Structures are given as C-alpha cells and as structure tokens.
Amino acid sequence: MVAEKQIDEFVSRIRKAAGQNLQSVILYGSAATGEFQAEFSNLNLLCILRETSFPKLSAMAPVAEWWHRQKHPAPLVMTQEELEHSTDVFSIELLDMQHHHRVLFGDELLTGLRIPMQLHRAQLEYELREKLILLRQRLLETGDNDRALWELLLGSVSAFATLFRHALLALGDAAPHSKREAIQILASRIPFEPSAFLQLLDIRDHKTDRKQLDAKDVFTRYLAAVQRVTAAVDTMLDKDK
C-alpha cells in the first residue's frame, strides 16, 4: 500500500521549505503504476526547482533528511531546463516517468517531453549489457549462499522487467504497464523461457513462498533468460539500423 499520508506530508514540508523556488513535485515509478510493494519498492519523487544553488538546496535538506528517516530515497532535483535537455541521455527513465507519474504539486512538465527513440534504443542496449555483466559479477560474489542468491534475484528482477518492457517499445510494440504482461509478451516475440521471472514476481506479490523453490534452479533459468533477451534485442535492433 502506498503511504499517501507520508507523501502528502512531504509535499507540505517541501512547499514550506522551498517556497516560490519549487515549481513541481512529481511521483513516479511503481507508486504511480499500482505495482508498489512496500517490501521491495521505493517512493520515487522528482522535484523541479527554479534555482539549484547551494542555499536553495540547503533550505530543502531538513525535509530530505526527514524523508530519509521514513526509509525513502531523497528526491531527484532538477530544473525544467535540465529536464528538457536530459531526454537524450535519460530516455528510458524519462519515458517511464512520462508514462507513469502523478503530479503532486505545481506544473505538469513530463507529458510534453519529446524523447528521441533512436537514442532510447542505444540506451536500452547499453543498460541490458551493463546489468547483465553486473548480474554475473554479483553472482560470483554470492558463492554458494542461497540467501544471497535470493536477494540478488529479488533485487534485480524489477530492473530487468522494466528493460524488457522497453525492449517491446524498441521493437515497435505497445508495452503494457504490468511487468508480468510485458515479460510474457516479450517471451512470445524473442522467444525465451519466462518462468523464473514470473516466479520471482509471484514471490514479491506474496503469491508464492520462495521456500518452495530452489534458488539455484531459479537463477539458472533467470540468467539464461537475461542472456537470451540481451543477445536477441541487440541482434534485432542492429538489423534495423
């Protein structure tokens, strides 16, 4: 359940602290899509400021410190000009924000952003390969520890599911909001075995107890799926260049 009272309290505090310098406060991510899970998800906030000088940021610091004590990450802070000039380097992130957000205060600044999809493709290839390499690195660090394997699986599945949804967009498909649907549709396009992803989402949704599953078996299928998708997306997108 999304902590609406805490969100409202943050908006009230940040408006008092930032005053006229605050242009907009935007909630984005899983809390804006209906997939928020308190155990795994963050409350993600974007604050658009008119000025980002040290004194202006310092005025907001006590609110960010209070928010951090509620176990939430500090908000992202940008100016409107920075936001508009970031579409070429943060195409995945801003496309997600554009599709899934809620304006809590001030101006609607995301809907009108123009995001270059050719750069979105380049970022998608980069993100898939980078996260695959990091996944292998983390796997080597876990050794034979099942608990560490579960932490790695459950901690990374959301990021890969997001990239799989963006793979559909890059391939010209309409991508659903649901991670589960996106995985299943992409599995019909490439194809790959999606069972590990679906099981991990079931664990996150408390539909399955991970004690009923073997961590090494799940990781075997999970890694194979990530490697298959990364290679296939790279090949498909290269053909379209």
213-232 confidence digits (pLDDT tens):
999 999 999 999 999 999 99
Pairing of strands 76-79, 44-49: parallel
How many CA within 13 A on the CB side of residue 113? Answer: 26
Q: Are residues 175 and 92 in the same domain?
A: no
49-65 confidence digits (pLDDT tens):
999 999 999 999 999 99
Last residue of a domain, one of 81, 106, 131: 106
Alpha-helical (H) ranges within 103-194 are 117-142, 146-170, 179-189
Q: Are residues 26 and 72 in the same domain?
A: yes
pLDDT of residue 1: 54
Q: Are residues 89 and 149 in the same domain?
A: no
177-217 confidence digits (pLDDT tens):
788 999 999 999 998 999 999 999 999 989 999 999 999 99
pLDDT of residue 236: 77
Residue 112 belongs to a domain = no
Residue 78 belongs to a domain = yes
pLDDT at 2 over 80: no
CB atoms < 10 A from the CB of 220, how many? 12
Closest CA to 195 of 187, 158, 134: 187
pLDDT of residue 216: 96
Distance of CA 57 to the CA centre of its chain: 25
Range of the domain at 75: 4-106
Percent of the chain with pLDDT over 90: 73
109-150 confidence digits (pLDDT tens):
999 999 888 889 889 999 999 999 999 999 999 988 999 999
Closest CA to 184 of 161, 203, 204: 161
Q: Are residues 64 and 130 in the same domain?
A: no
Separation CA 216–CA 144 (nearest Å): 9
